[in-house]
Amino acid sequence: MTKINPFKPNSPVPTGMFAGRYDELDELEKGLFQTKNGHSTHYLITGERGIGKSSLMMYLKFVSTGDIDSIKYGKFNFLTINIVLSDRTDLVTLIKLIEKNISRELGKVEKVRKFLSDTWEFVQRIKVMDSSIDKAQNDSDVDLLIDDFSYSLSETCKRIIVPKKDEEQNARDGIVFFIDEADNASPNLRIGYFFKVVTELLQQHSCNNIMFVVAGLPELIEKLSISHESSIRLFNQLLIKELSTLEREYVIDKGIESGNKINQEKTTISGAAKTVISNISEGYPHFIQQFSYSAFDHDSDGEISEDDAIQSAFKTGGALDAIGDRYYSSYFYEKIKSDEYRQVLSIMAEKMNSWIKKSEIRAKFTGDDKTLSNALVALTKRKIILKNHSRIGEYRLQQRGFAFWIKLFGNRKK
């Protein structure tokens, strides 16, 4: 009989299997508490691909709405708005998305529906302005739009913090925005400028119960500062890292446990198998989920053994194959056309994502000097590797996960 596989390599982790992040959650909950009490606090969550940014945001969303109790402050009751940015999201789309989300959440009360349609009336008007804003990138139009938006948002927030009679079901602690994949933001969106102006205007309108939680790859930080120099200072920054050994095992145990709840046939996993998954994942949550998923899938006798874990990790169509397809192979095989450039990456990957001297690479590289120099320039330009600004002639791979994949797998799929 086929079992339902409880591991989730392709989506944010269900709250029951969520591991670690205590310090981050502690900090974020403090922010919710501050915001609830009229001291808006904003957060920037950054980290490598698949490190668990969206999962952390999803968990925090449940804490914000009161579906999960916070660790220290009991239940919160915020209105939450989830936005995922793409490179096509412009200011108009962003504002429309927010307005739609708010109406959906609060518009169930008749009187509030009327209030919302009056307060957000400008959104109807901008429908006609779309194209002119897109083309002309007219600064004053953008400022007017941000001004209207901030005013409507603050009015809406005030209405739910102190609800009128018959609107008690809309009573909230404030509003939390979860803006994910913000590294996708196009220069047109001027994301840093947007946050800077909106937060200032909200303050001017005495609206202090709104929290922005913005997540993305590390390059988001640069994007924000290009768009507005001081926008970074609006945020408390959280850098998400690998899970500890104990946390990795917790994820595996919780997964097996939840599998046993939904499947009639039970599954166990040996300590040695857990160690294999924990070690080869190096604490990357998406690796843990994928190795566990593949081991669960590979097992045929209800006992996941060390051998199941190893075989399912390395076989064709196994865990590493899947991880590579999802995250790295397009980088490695499509974006990098030359075998020599790939060789440079493989040499660098031996040191994971630590700095490596050009002379060390040269000692192992089979091509000539000029090719090596060209490769380093091209790979740096494409942000696949980083150049050390404080030490001349040192480079490193941008992502540890990518380094790990190249090391284990990059040479196999020639």
Ligand X SMILES: Nc1ncnc2c1ncn2[C@@H]1O[C@H](COP(=O)(O)OP(=O)(O)OP(=O)(O)O)[C@@H](O)[C@H]1O
Return residues touching ligand X (CB under 6 A): 8-9, 12-13, 17-21, 47, 49-55, 251, 285-286, 289
Write down the least CB distance from residue 21 to ligand X, Å.
5
Residue 211: what are its φ and ψ, rounded to 5°? -125, 130
217/49 Cα distance (integer angstroms): 7
Tokens of 275: 């160690």
Write down the least CB distance from residue 227 to ligand X, Å.
21
286 binds, among Mg ion, ligand X, none (CB under 5 to 8 A by kind): ligand X
Point out which residues pair with 210 in neighbouring strands: 175
128 burial via Cβ count (<10 Å: 0-12, 13-18, 19+): exposed
228/107 Cα distance (integer angstroms): 34
19 binds, among Mg ion, ligand X, none (CB under 5 to 8 A by kind): ligand X
- C-beta nearest to ligand X: residue: 52
CB atoms within 10 A of CB 339: 10
170 binds Mg ion per the rule CB under 5 A: no
How many residues bind Mg ion (CB under 5 A)? The answer is 2
- Name which of 170 and 292 has its Cβ closer to ligand X: 292
Write down the least CB distance from residue 240 to ligand X, Å.
7
- Name which of 146 and 220 has its Cβ closer to ligand X: 220
Write down the least CB distance from residue 214 to ligand X, Å.
13
- Name which of 15 and 346 has its Cβ closer to ligand X: 15
Contact status, residue 57 vs residue 215, Cβ threshold 8 Å? yes
Angle subtended by helix axes 285-298 and 271-281, to nearest 10: 140
40 binds, among ligand X, Mg ion, none (CB under 5 to 8 A by kind): none
Distances (CA, A) of 404 to 144, 223, 262, 279, 314: 48, 27, 34, 12, 13
Write down the least CB distance from residue 55 to ligand X, Å.
3
64/107 Cα distance (integer angstroms): 20
Contact status, residue 40 vs residue 208, Cβ threshold 8 Å? yes
Point out which residues pair with 214 in neighbouring strands: 44, 179
52 binds, among Mg ion, ligand X, none (CB under 5 to 8 A by kind): ligand X
- Name which of 147 and 282 has its Cβ closer to ligand X: 282
Write down the least CB distance from residue 293 to Mg ion, Å.
18
Write down the least CB distance from residue 48 to ligand X, Å.
7
DSSP 8-state code for residue 302: S
**Among the listed residues 54, 89, 150, 209, the single contact to Mg ion using CB under 5 A:** 54
In the complex, the residues that contact Mg ion under the rule CB under 5 A are 53-54
